[in-house]
Structure 1
Amino acid sequence: MANVRRRCGFPNGIDVSARGRSGGISLGWTNDVVVSIQSFSVRHIDFVIEDVIGDNRWRCTGFYGAPEERFRAEAWNLLRHLNSVLTLPWLVIGDFNEILYSFEKQGGLVRNERQMEGFRNVLADCALDDLGYTGQWFTWEKGRFASTNIRERLDRGVANEAWQSLFPHFKLEHLIKSFSDHCPLLLNTDVSTTGNFLRQFRFEAAWVLEGSCEDVVRHLWASTADLLPIKLQKIGQGLSRWYKTLCSSRRAREKDMQQKLNLMYELPVSDESLEDILGLKMELNLEADKEEIFWEQRARVNWLRNGDRNTPFFHNHAS
């Protein structure tokens, strides 16, 4: 996980190992935020964030609920304990492995009311409110056939009133998943925040997955007879224009596929609908491959910047 965090641009972090093939928690953060770890276990990482820009101090707990029902009460008591040790604006986010109400599950066995009541009680005891969401209603799914398909909202964010007052313009999204059986949660504490970035020309490794890339390079190469440095400069300018147009069409196409996937999830479960969903996921996987290559290319800069500055480090990553 340390390598994954570093490749994603988070040089600082803490990792709690999985037990067998389930669990495991990782927290990563950048150098422009001050994070103080308060406690951690196989169920949680509790930390305080000092926002230098906004001069805010608040608390976040990454939580992993007990998958087994017999350990659920122990997990809820951990939340109650965390609630008692520190008074700050508090956000708890993660996979709680439980639903609040029966309508948050579709398919499979009916959830025991006592289990859901235990979850509702601990949130009430800790004065934590569900933050809601945008996107598809469920966060976990298994089963490729209508007869075995199960969907549940197991992942969520909850926060106390002080946190919601501190970040009144927050937005929590259920992102479209294509690999995992869980969907990622994306929490933006201020949806009004936008950024403008200037970027220099770089040849993107992900471009080679685009069918039109080779033809564009051939056309640009043949369209100028200048000396090599000027020729390369013009090719770079042409590729930048091509990439800008490509990005617009790709974003529109990906958004269209995500909207179609959301609509498919609203239809009654059938073998035909699940087949269509699988096809859309495969198309999104290809887009994800391009995105992964995009960020992996940038991760090489992170390795050089944040890695151990010695010969074995560079040799290993070069290999």
Structure 2
Amino acid sequence: MNISTWNMRGLNDPIKVVEIKKFLASNNISVVALLETKVQEKNSSKIQKKIGNGWQWIMNYECSPRGRVWIGWKHAVVSVQLLHKTEFCIHCTVASKNGLFSTTFSAVYGLLSVDTRKPMWREITNFSSTVTCPWLVMGDFNAVLLAADRVNGNVVTEGETKDFDSCMDSAGCAELKSCGSYYSWSNKGQGNLRICSRIDRAIANALWHSKFVDAVVDYLPPGIYDHSPLKGMDVSCPRSGSMLKVWTKLKVVKQGLKELHHKDFAKLDERIEGLRVDLGKIQTQLAACPTDSNVQQSERECSETLKKFLHIQESAYRQKARIQWLQVGDSNSKLFFSAMKERIAKNSIDILYDDTGKKLSTTQEI
């Protein structure tokens, strides 16, 4: 059973219709979600007939006049039942007619801005509470999840990722294993103007991960499009109960770590500045009354707390520097050559001294 999603960025061009028809046939796709079709409802049946008479379709025109989400399936081999539609999601059940495969499937298309995507995150979270079987969510979320999910363009911020991350935690979902290209979209720019990002994804709940152990999502070449198609391949294989317990416990640990970070380490720069201000006020009081033991104790406690958070801040900066190096440090970039020059400067011997400390010469003289 191959399930696929693809953001077409418009399906009115006959060339694109030919490409999608060839893609479905050559990859043996049984269920496909076509996103951002930009096809008017009155023209949808005409385009669907060109794709093939063996396909049936569900669309969300009632919620989105632009036809943002279409789900098609080969009715000879698959049964699909609609559960719910919104502007950015279609939820349904998918079952092979041979009885070997069944799942709840959600095809999603995220809107462009952080604020307009918030209803989608709520929809996914709310729907997750109604699912009692394996559940697969695929599509173009239009949002990155990790700092490494974008090359060039704007730096990934926490504001971009936190809603997606929180949604996955609340819905009890984790990303599927993937192969092929890491990035799913590019602006097709040339040289350093090319921006690439991973905004198309496949995630699933614990029941899916426990049932379809070998499920893999293949990020295929985009062809004439700017998005890559995602092809989900599954191999049914029972997973041991112990592995499911480990997966569940790791999800709990992740949530605990997030809560710890929010409680103790969120807004670190602001907290450090606040501690600096507090320490300054205390030391001003101490200057007026140097022998006040209570103020002395307050100074000691505030100073120790400030040192603690300064060490934490330094550690955080070191980790961010490593992330930046992992992203672009080995790509013959400006960062790489700057780091190389800095290393050479540190390792160079500019001045030599004898045993008495007297300057002997410079490297230029040698």
TM interval, shorter chain, is: 0.5 to 0.7
- The 2-side partners of 1:113 and 1:182 are apart by 24
Please state if 1:136 is matched with 2:181: yes
Verify the 8 A CA contact 1:35 1:50 in the aligned structure 2. Answer: yes
What's 2:30 paired with?
Answer: none
Please give the residue correspondences for 1:268-287 in structure 2 after superposition, counting only pairs within 5 Å: none
What's 2:106 paired with?
Answer: 61
What's 2:69 paired with?
Answer: 25
Which structure would you say has the larger Rg? Answer: 2
What's 1:92 paired with?
Answer: 137
Write out per-residue CA displacement over residues 162-204 of structure 1, whole angstroms, 9 at most, x where no aligned residue: 1123222222111111211111111112399xxxxxxxxxxxx
The number of aligned residues is: 196
Identity value in percent: 23
The amino acid of 2:142's aligned partner reads: N
Cα deviation, residue 53, structure 1: 1.6
Please state if 1:3 is matched with 2:46: yes
Q: Pick closer, same or farther for the CA change 1:70–1:26 going to 2, 3 Å.
A: same
Give RMSD over aligned pairs.
2.6
Verify the 8 A CA contact 1:2 1:15 in the aligned structure 2. Answer: no
The amino acid of 1:136's aligned partner reads: S
Q: Pick closer, same or farther for the CA change 1:159–1:106 going to 2, 3 Å.
A: same
1:16 counterpart (47, 60, 67): 60
- The 1-side partners of 2:64 and 2:331 are apart by 37
Verify the 8 A CA contact 1:171 1:191 in the aligned structure 2. Answer: no
What's 1:80 paired with?
Answer: 125
The amino acid of 2:157's aligned partner reads: N
What's 1:188 paired with?
Answer: 233
Verify the 8 A CA contact 2:211 2:236 in the aligned structure 1. Answer: no
- The 1-side partners of 2:74 and 2:188 are apart by 37
What's 2:164 paired with?
Answer: 119
Cα deviation, residue 117, structure 1: 1.5
What's 2:222 paired with?
Answer: 177
Partner-residue secondary structure (3-state), 1:125: helix
Structure 1 unaligned spans of 5+: 193-265, 270-319
Greater Cα shift, 98-107 or 30-39: 30-39
TM-score for both structures, normalised by structure 2: 0.49
Q: Pick closer, same or farther for the CA change 1:145–1:191 going to 2, 3 Å.
A: farther
Write out per-residue CA displacement over residues 195-215 of structure 1, whole angstroms, 9 at most, x where no aligned residue: xxxxxxxxxxxxxxxxxxxxx
Partner-residue secondary structure (3-state), 2:224: coil
2:150 counterpart (102, 105, 120): 105
Cα deviation, residue 30, structure 1: 1.6
Point out which structure has higher relative CO (alpha carbons under 8 A, 6+ apart): 1
The amino acid of 1:167's aligned partner reads: F
Greater Cα shift, 146-155 or 8-17: 8-17
Partner-residue secondary structure (3-state), 1:35: strand
Q: Pick closer, same or farther for the CA change 1:181–1:52 going to 2, 3 Å.
A: same
- The 1-side partners of 2:114 and 2:224 are apart by 26
TM-score for both structures, normalised by structure 1: 0.56
What's 1:209 paired with?
Answer: none
Structure 2 unaligned spans of 5+: 1-43, 238-329, 334-366
Verify the 8 A CA contact 1:49 1:60 in the aligned structure 2. Answer: yes
